[in-house]
Structure 1
Amino acid sequence: MAKSAIDLNALSAAELIELIKEAEAVLATKREGARTELVEEIKVKAAALGLSLNDLLGRPRPHTNVRRPRSDAGKTVVAKYRGPNGAEWTGRGRKPRWLAELEAEGKTKEEFAL
């Protein structure tokens, strides 16, 4: 890599900013040219093997960070526990207050199982 004849210490801040902008523009142009050349080279090699560029790359799977919903989401679930006042709980989600209070008194949730 050849060292430039520009004395960076002699440049003002504004001149350095302008130099950086020009260098970034040249870099972007060179990268795009290299990318185009690479794609063409790969296309030629793939065609020699009877493949297309899409055959080589395959179909990209969409990537999401979203969990799949439950298969039974939105469906009514049968209650597993019934309290002394008739309140019911399916066993999902946060424990209901009535059950927590009864467990604090020494009872177990199995005593209220249906």
Structure 2
Amino acid sequence: MSSYQDLLAQKAALEKQAAELEKALTDARRTERAGVINQIKTLMAEHGLTAADLGGGKPAKAPSASAGRKVAPKYRNAATGETWTGRGLQPKWVAGALASGKKLEDFAI
């Protein structure tokens, strides 16, 4: 049966081997990636292509300046004081008033 010290030494040796293997794999990936990039550059030069021709690398669309801003209400229910901006679904009070024959302009602020 192995002693605790022997097991700790084995653990340290295995961790060292794992670190060396990870470094070797990282180096291999880096080398392979560099080769692939060179191959792509060569093919692009042969065919007269640019990065724009590939359609990638388009900048991400910036959020609009008005995104998330509050909008002033455009309509008010005189009886209850409820308001509506005119965006999205009509509130029940607006839908009910329109159904009863009133016009949206009657509630304009």
Give the alignment's TM-score, normalised by structure 2: 0.56
Residue 55 of structure 2 aligns to which amino acid in structure 1? G
Is the aligned partner of 1:84 residue 2:96? Answer: no
Aligned length: 85
**1:13 positional shift:** 1.2
The corresponding residue for 1:46 is 44
Gaps in structure 2 of 5+ consecutive residues: 1-8, 99-103
Does the CA contact (< 8 Å) of 2:71 and 2:85 recur in 1?
Answer: no
Does the CA contact (< 8 Å) of 2:74 and 2:84 recur in 1?
Answer: yes
Gaps in structure 1 of 5+ consecutive residues: 1-10, 94-107
Supply the distance in 1 between the matched residues of 2:30 and 2:40 (Cα, whole angstroms).
Answer: 15
More helix by share: 2
Q: CA RMSD in A?
A: 3.6
SS in 1 for 2:27: helix
**Deviation string for 1:3-22 (max 9, x for gaps)?**
xxxxxxxx811111111100
**1:78 positional shift:** 0.6
Q: Structure 1 vs Structure 2: percent identity of aligned residues?
A: 19
Alignment of 1:1-114 (within 5 A): 12-52=10-50, 54-62=51-59, 69=67, 73-79=69-75, 81-84=76-79, 87-90=81-84, 109=93, 110-111=96-97, 114=107
